[in-house]
Structure 1
Amino acid sequence: MKKRLLVVAMLLSACSQLPDERKAEVETLAVPAEEIKPSEPEEVVVENDAVAESLATDFEHIFVDTDMTFSGTLPCADCPGISYHINLFRDGRFAVRQEYLERNQISIIRGIWLLEKRSLHLVNQQQTLPAFHFLSNTQLAMLDLSGKPITSNTNYQLQREAEFRKLDTRQAMLGLYTLNDSQASFTSCASGETLTVANTQHHLPVMRQYQQDERLKGNNVIVTLLGRRGQDDQANTLFIDKFEQFWPGAACPDQLQPGKMQGIVWRAEKLANRYVPQQLNVRVIFEPNERLYGFAGCNNFNGSYKQRSSQLSVQPLVSTRKFCADSSELEQQFTQSLQSADRVEVNGDTLQLFKNNQLILQFKPAIN
């Protein structure tokens, strides 16, 4: 028995001699720590105007930080179009040249502009101009009377010009001219403003004619001319670019009673059913002494007439004999119609001539 116990003890002793425990070795790779730098904003490189335009347009950031010129022709209900030249100045001022094509109706309007997001408002106390919307930095679209975009296939957009361009302020004018010594003044029939006339090469022949004609000398006389107003310190000065003629016996239309035919410079508006291009300046005046004279688009004419109530007869006209390719055909039709008239009516500010109860000529008072 003791011998068996001894064997068992020896076996148990052999089983208890286990191998030494070894810790698992984990190889650690040393990775150098990178220096973490704050991220820098990516630089936006503006390569051209198109990129700048899209950036400004996308975020509705329109800035008038330089003088800008926009131009183009917008639709017109009863004329070929309205030509616009708009100058926006970075100091908040604007200047607009608005011309109704074929009417010779030109307005020079100045004021201040207001920018509401991308809506541009041109503010003038005397005249109303349309509002526009910046489609981009280079495009303006006209808005309707309610301030909403106009939905149409017709082009209602003005384009920005590459370079700022000064306004052409020349326009047809009608007003009272007077000369004292060597200083002349001009009072516009349209605005009532009085301007000093600059003694330029275009004005000197006018002065000589005024001084030599006894009908004119010392009187206020209606004249028609193409001129422009000076700028800045010469804002009250008129510069004559082209003198047309004196109209002795005429007065500004607003000084006369409505319904009166004599003493007004009438501008031809319609020849039968055809509008007369206003740049031709077809005009006539009926004097109280039953004489008439005027300009038919190329030549000056004069003659006599008789009026009995609404009955009218015009005697054969005497005219100069120049040929003008752009107006001679219309001029011939105008003078023939004027001489064939047998009845006249003045309705408000409209003078109408008839033949056999058919309207053949229609006039409006010339204010420029």
Structure 2
Amino acid sequence: MQDIFDKVRSGGRIDRQEAAALYESAPLHALGALAHEIRLRKHPAPVVTYVADRNINYSNICSCGCRFCAFFKAPGQEGGYVISREDLSRKIEETLALGGTQILMQGGHHPDLPFEFYEELLGFIRESYPSIHVHAFSPPEIHYFAGLYGMSVAEVLQRLRKAGLHSIPGGGAEILVNEVRERVSPNKCSADAWLAVMEEAHAQGLRTTATMMFGHEEEPEHRLDHLFAVRATQDRTGGFTAFIPWTFQPENTNIKARPLTSPEYLRVLALSRIVLDNVDNIQVSWVTMGPKIAQLALYFGGNDFGSLMIEENVVRAAGVCFRLTREEIHRLIEAAGFRPVQRNMTYQPVETA
């Protein structure tokens, strides 16, 4: 164990076997301290960043039926919606009024909307709100569009970029292991397809994030598979700006799972910082873990406090509802010993009033 710690401290890259040894056997606080050392090596200034954005779900209608999702409505089911221009405008204007710079826009796999709907949606935002950054359409959505409309992934991305797409969120990754995906989201794209969408997006100059939702029906080795898949992709493309691991919330879903404990979350977060030596930023998850654990996570490898999250619906549907104001985020970061800095999607500071 000491040899692995020394290797990491000297700037060496750990392999899969060494990562498994750390995950299984390293004392939690020693692992956290090692992750924090790497974090300080990458970001020596006493700063913790966050983004002011809003999660806007343009539709909740989805033909996937993922077992972990408490938000979707099946096609034809009561309660399904597609956002109106009026509602979209109101949400964006509220975001701008609160000092927001970005919207994260995702929806389900809607079988009946034409592709022009998405192009026109992006065009409306670009023309009406040119200052807002549009971070939208996860890889499963992009892959679904390609199949539904008879286009290549490259063509889908080209057309969305032309319409006004700026970057892609890392949603829909869950666990990037096909045997797990076949159990929890059998109608969603494969792990290989998720990674291929990201590689194509990076090739076209789009920056993206990567996520991992863990604590459902995967095993610890699958979490390692996920981390090493992200690392390998980043080696090839360099397009991921951040990695965001967060814990599965089981309430109101079709998966019976024990909610993970805070130490289990912190262990995965720290390991993420150690394995993903080529990803600059690791985001903590106050939305699923609460503000105090997110604050502690800043000493387990995290350097980014995530989003102000003016609106969030998917995790809320699974029974978790933590809300923080900008002032509360600043207070938590400062109490942990850091200076809060609002940033954009590419981690450049944003001037705020």
TM bracket (short chain): under 0.3
Task: Tell me which structure has the larger Cα radius of gyration.
Answer: 1
Greater helix content: 2
TM-score, length basis structure 2: 0.25
TM-score, length basis structure 1: 0.25
Of structures 1 and 2, the one scoring higher in RCO (CA 8 A, sep 6+) is 2
Greater strand content: 1
